[in-house]
Amino acid sequence: QVQLVESGGGLAQTGGSLRLSCAATGRTFSTRGMAWFRQAPGAERDLVAAISWSGDSTYFADSVKGRFTISRSNAKNTVAVYLQMNSLEPENTAVYYCGAGKIALRVVPTQQGGEYDGWGQGTQVTVSS
């Protein structure tokens, strides 16, 4: 059974930091790119950051470049993916979801949201002004 579990969200002040974690179990996630998406109320789910299966290639949305970093640790049965969010802004308020790439061994993580699945329940991030 595919399972992604996000955690680490909460309330932060503008300029503060949060670190999100995603635990992925139940599939060969170690060979798949992983990504973080966010969905604000009334908005679509948008890609925030992605990382290749090897960790060698990353992607960041323009709005978070220089402030967010993505990393991962690969184990046989569990993959952990992290999103370090610094210099938070109220516009970063959203539910954050972790997604797993559908296709294995991509050198560069895809930016196509439809190429990710396995969504967890998400973790709420709220940034106060």
What is the tens place of the pLDDT at every residue in 48-62? 999 999 999 999 999
Tens digits of residue pLDDT in 3-39:
899 999 999 999 999 999 999 987 788 899 999 999 9
| pLDDT at 64 > cutoff 80 | yes
For residue 76, the model assigns a pLDDT of 72
For residue 123, the model assigns a pLDDT of 98
For residue 2, the model assigns a pLDDT of 64
Q: What is the mean pLDDT of the chain?
A: 94
Closest among 27, 7, 10, 15 to 76, alpha carbons compared:
27
For residue 128, the tally of other CB atoms under 10 A from its CB is: 11
CA separation for the pair 113, 43 (Å, rounded): 14
CA 92 to chain CA centroid, nearest Å: 13
The pLDDT-based confidence of 1 (bands split at 50, 70, 90) is low
